[in-house]
């Protein structure tokens, strides 16, 4: 028996009467069968599918939300990264940021927090963006605000915290480091869930183990590093180089290298007055902010500006004279060694001459409307005080005790 089959299809569409955004799509199928014995026959069928433009919009919105969520939580890839910079007072944080972003403005003191950003053409059509948050006052709420701001564009895995310390003041250096770490840890607990912090810590431990030098298996392990990506920057190296002897440089360098190794952080010396160090710092910030090339060669000569990448150091190379090596070295042990040589100034005495000045009198922070309101309130208060002082004692209202 010889038979031949042929199908002819036609698709039509029509709008519904109830909504212009709804449409129906139908497919008409006509099957022809030609058989030498049975003759000719054909079959008719129709299939239909209703589509809704509103549903299409919802699907597109869901896809956009899913893509945005993935972008904010992806620990591996992101076109946006963030730098959170804090540290000692008047150490040059703003100047360093301006040089990195190639700003020509004159740096001004940062009272609370400042935000800036930079862009750089990447390998794809999408430009890489770095968000730079400078925290001028070590308040966990301010640091938490910058961390929460980072999560609007990417995950915490792509945020780097940079703590800038004044090398020229070793008598307050360790206090500044401790104060910064306490504030950042508190802000991290305020900003991220425990599961995310745990994941950051586990990834950091794996990263440090992968980068560990061969032959350091017998050294104390780094089991509790700082969860986020961290870098210690020693500022004002030009003053440090001129003021301190070789032994002081070695003691400070050993303590900072050991602290950075325990924290799983990098360590770099910086000076805005040294073109070589300025270029090296820009490369460092570009590495953290734009996935740029990192400096492979470490500098551990204490007569030179140190540069040590995270995970590339070891306690045997630092040679800090830590006697026990059967368990992890702590920051407190390193502190005890450091403060024996450089006793720390009590925090209440660590006040710069300009810190007690009223910023409202600084012309860099003029706010005409706020200044007028402030002057008006001061005048009202002075009138009330004068009336109270000139009035008889009996007329002064004395509140009843509770």
Q: In sequence order, what E strands does 102-143 have?
A: 113-120, 128-135
What pLDDT, on the 0 to 100 scale, is given for residue 14? 54
First-to-last alpha carbon distance for the chain, in angstroms, is: 111
pLDDT digit string (tens) for the chain, length 402 residues? 555 555 555 555 555 444 444 555 555 555 555 555 545 454 445 454 444 556 766 766 666 666 656 555 555 667 889 999 999 988 999 999 999 999 988 888 888 899 999 988 766 667 789 999 999 988 898 899 999 988 888 888 999 999 999 999 999 999 999 999 999 999 999 899 999 999 999 999 988 888 877 766 667 667 789 999 999 999 999 999 888 788 899 999 999 999 999 999 999 999 999 999 999 999 999 999 887 666 667 899 999 999 999 988 888 888 877 765 556 788 999 999 999 999 998 865 555 544 445 566 666 667 778 877 877 887 777 777 777 666 655 555 555 554
Which residue matches tokens 């620990």? 75
Domain with CATH 3.40.50.300 in the chain: 80-341
For 180, half-sphere exposure in the C-beta direction (CA atoms, 13 angstrom radius) is 26
| pTM tops 0.85, yes or no | no
DSSP state of 298: -
Phi, psi at residue 349, to the nearest 5°?
Answer: -100, -10
* 3-state secondary structure (DSSP) of residue 389: helix
* Nearest alpha-carbon partner for 328 in 203, 227, 223, 216: 223
* 3-state secondary structure (DSSP) of residue 72: helix
The burial of 265, by beta-carbon neighbours within 10 Å (0-12 exposed, 13-18 middle, 19 or more buried), is given as buried
Q: In sequence order, what E strands does 251-379 have?
A: 266-269, 307-308
Dist CA 71 CA 59 (whole Å): 18
Which residue matches tokens 């745990």? 198
Dist CA 350 CA 343 (whole Å): 13
What pLDDT, on the 0 to 100 scale, is given for residue 50? 46
The burial of 229, by beta-carbon neighbours within 10 Å (0-12 exposed, 13-18 middle, 19 or more buried), is given as buried
**DSSP H helical ranges for 212-296:** 237-243, 246-263, 275-290
Q: Domain 80-341 classified CATH 2.40.30.10? A: no
What pLDDT, on the 0 to 100 scale, is given for residue 244? 77
Q: Are 155 and 68 in contact (CB under 8 A)?
A: no
């Amino acid at each position: 028996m010889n038979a031949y089959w042929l199908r002819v299809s036609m698709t039509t569409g029509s709008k519904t009467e109830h909504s212009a955004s709804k449409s129906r799509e139908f497919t008409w199928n006509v099957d022809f069968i030609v058989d030498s014995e049975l003759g000719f026959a054909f079959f008719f069928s129709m299939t239909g599918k209703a589509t809704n433009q509103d549903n299409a919009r919802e699907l597109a919105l869901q896809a956009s939300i899913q893509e945005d969520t993935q972008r904010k939580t992806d620990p591996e890839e992101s076109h946006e990264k963030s730098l959170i910079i804090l540290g000692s007072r008047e150490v040059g944080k703003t100047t360093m940021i301006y040089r990195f972003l190639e700003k020509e403005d004159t740096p001004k003191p940062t009272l609370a927090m400042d935000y800036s950003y930079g862009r750089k053409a990447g390998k794809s059509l999408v430009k890489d963006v770095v968000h730079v948050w400078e925290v001028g006052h070590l308040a966990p709420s301010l640091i938490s605000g910058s961390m929460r701001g980072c999560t609007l564009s990417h995950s915490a895995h792509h945020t780097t915290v940079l703590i800038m310390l004044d090398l020229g003041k070793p008598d307050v250096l360790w206090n500044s480091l401790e104060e910064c770490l306490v504030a950042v840890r508190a802000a991290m607990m305020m900003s991220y869930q425990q599961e995310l912090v745990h994941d950051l810590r586990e990834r950091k431990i794996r990263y440090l183990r992968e980068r560990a030098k061969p032959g350091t298996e017998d050294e104390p392990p780094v089991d509790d590093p700082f969860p986020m990506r961290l870098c210690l920057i020693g500022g004002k190296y030009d003053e440090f180089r001129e003021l301190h002897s070789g032994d002081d440089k070695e003691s400070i360098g050993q303590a900072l290298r050991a602290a950075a190794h325990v924290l799983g952080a990098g360590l770099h010396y910086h000076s805005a007055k040294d073109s070589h160090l300025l270029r090296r710092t820009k490369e460092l910030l570009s590495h953290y902010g734009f996935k740029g090339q990192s400096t492979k060669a470490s500098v551990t000569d204490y007569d030179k500006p140190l540069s040590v990448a995270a995970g590339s150091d070891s306690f045997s190379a630092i040679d800090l004279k830590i006697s026990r090596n059967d368990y992890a070295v702590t920051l407190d042990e390193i502190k005890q060694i450091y403060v024996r040589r450089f006793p720390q100034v009590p925090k209440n005495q660590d006040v710069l001459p300009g810190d007690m000045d009223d910023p409202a009198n600084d012309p860099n922070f003029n706010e005409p409307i706020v200044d007028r309101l402030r002057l008006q309130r001061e005048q009202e208060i002075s009138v009330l005080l004068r009336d109270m002082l000139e009035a008889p004692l009996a007329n002064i209202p004395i509140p009843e005790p509770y």
